Amino acid sequence: MTLSANTLVAEARAQIRELTPEALAPRLADDIVLIDVREPAEFETGHLPGAINIPRGVLEFQVEAHPAVACVTDPALSARDRDIVVYCRTGGRSALAAYNLQRMGFTRVRSLAGGITAWREQGLPLHLR
């Protein structure tokens, strides 16, 4: 059986929790780890304040400090019970990322519904480098 990307995303969304931009915005000052899973060039166009950029393609390796990414991991991710919100452009990559992080033992991970596109549509703040 062949699965499409849309099918994989739908399956992931059925297993994760999503958070709307309106629900996340007032919590930005809380102790939340924000992970932008877009590519670095996308991240440079604007990202949520305080977000770290770990592209979707290396997320699982980065989190586990795999030698393939020079054993670099963000200290904020060392506790698997931290509040983590992942996001991408529209929510597909972040749904897959959230699902895999849950499978890896992260217990409080959510995906931003609609991604940074929905965030921008609500007029919420972005950080530009």
Residues with active-site annotation: 88
Query: Strand 52-53 to strand 109-112: parallel, antiparallel, or no bridges (unpaired)?
Result: unpaired
Nearest in space to 47 (alpha carbons), one of 106, 100, 125: 125
How far is the C-alpha of 40 from the C-alpha of 103, rounded, in Å? 25
Query: Strand 83-87 to strand 32-36: parallel, antiparallel, or no bridges (unpaired)?
Result: parallel
Tell me how many degrees the CA angle 27-61-79 measures, rounded to the nearest 5.
40
How far is the C-alpha of 83 from the C-alpha of 38, rounded, in Å? 19
Quickly count: other Cβ atoms within 10 Å of residue 15's Cβ: 11
